[in-house]
């Protein structure tokens, strides 16, 4: 049943204009902005992180706007299953988004070999770690709010999650002059622990909140 809930979310989301705008923004960044101007890895990484994080949580607003939470809760499913399906949907969209970003970068590197930005640096484990960290912080802060608040509170929480994830990523990885080290450091182990543990804790919190909430 969890799989059906995931498919429901994806089916309702895939035909929206917002998803197309996000995909176009991802393409625009790789093929236009970074092609003609020499950019450091910091803004490139943050651009991808924010774009994928927004894409992986935006579908939650459609449930709020269409008020489908009540209908979904009336189905023969538990609220725990609804929460797990929401988190797994976000994970699926984020994974596809990251792979799509890397694929676009890989293709662009060969199609436009004279680009001003060195895309070869992107294919680094540290870059993937930073992107994952940003997305995890954003999603694990935002999704509990989805199950707690109505539309207005969800929008406000979304903005706070964006700000918090930028600050957390900046504090965890970026050093002087807004740059970060491409090599793994000892402190990266803490970031990896957050990537692993934060979704589990956030899911438990969301289940608790959603079970206590009156729809």
Structural domain of 93: 2-212
pLDDT band at 142 (very low <50, low <70, confident <90, very high): very high
Q: What percent of the chain has pLDDT over 90?
A: 24
**pLDDT of 149 above 80:** yes
> What's the mean pLDDT when you consider all of the chain?
80
Tally of domains within the chain:
1
131 near 172, Cβ under 8 Å? no
Q: pLDDT tens digits for 46-95?
A: 878 888 888 888 777 776 666 666 667 667 788 888 899 889 989 988 99
Exposure of 113 by Cβ count < 10 A (0-12 exposed, 13-18 middle, 19+ buried)?
exposed
Q: pLDDT tens digits for 12-26?
A: 666 666 667 777 777
Helix/strand/coil for 180: strand
End-to-end CA distance of the chain: 21
Which whole number is the average pLDDT over 187-208?
94
Give the contacts of 181 (CB within 8 A, at least 6 positions apart): 126, 175
Residue 7 confidence (pLDDT): 76
Q: pLDDT tens digits for 103-133?
A: 887 777 777 666 666 666 777 888 889 999 9
Query: 181 or 194, which is more confident?
Result: 194
**pLDDT of 189 above 70:** yes
pTM value?
0.86
């Amino acid at each position: 049943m969890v799989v059906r809930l995931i498919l429901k979310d994806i089916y309702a989301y895939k035909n929206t204009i917002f998803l197309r705008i996000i995909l176009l923004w991802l393409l625009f960044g790789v093929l236009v902005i970074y092609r003609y101007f020499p950019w450091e890895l910091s803004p490139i990484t943050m651009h991808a992180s924010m774009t994928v994080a927004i894409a992986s949580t935006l579908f939650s607003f459609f449930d709020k706007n269409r008020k489908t939470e009540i209908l979904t809760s009336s189905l023969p499913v538990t609220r725990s299953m609804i929460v797990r399906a929401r988190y797994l949907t976000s994970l699926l969209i984020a994974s596809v988004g990251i792979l799509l970003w890397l694929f676009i970068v890989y293709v662009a590197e060969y199609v436009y070999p004279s680009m001003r930005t060195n895309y070869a640096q992107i294919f680094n484990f540290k870059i993937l770690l930073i992107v994952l960290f940003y997305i995890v912080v954003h999603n694990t802060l935002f999704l509990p709010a989805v199950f707690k608040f109505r539309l207005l509170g969800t929008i406000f929480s979304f903005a706070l999650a964006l700000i918090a994830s930028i600050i957390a990523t900046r504090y965890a990885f970026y050093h002087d002059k807004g740059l970060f080290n491409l090599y793994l450091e000892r402190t990266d182990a803490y970031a990896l622990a957050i990537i692993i543990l934060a979704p589990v804790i956030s899911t438990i919190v969301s289940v608790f909140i959603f079970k206590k909430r009156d729809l």
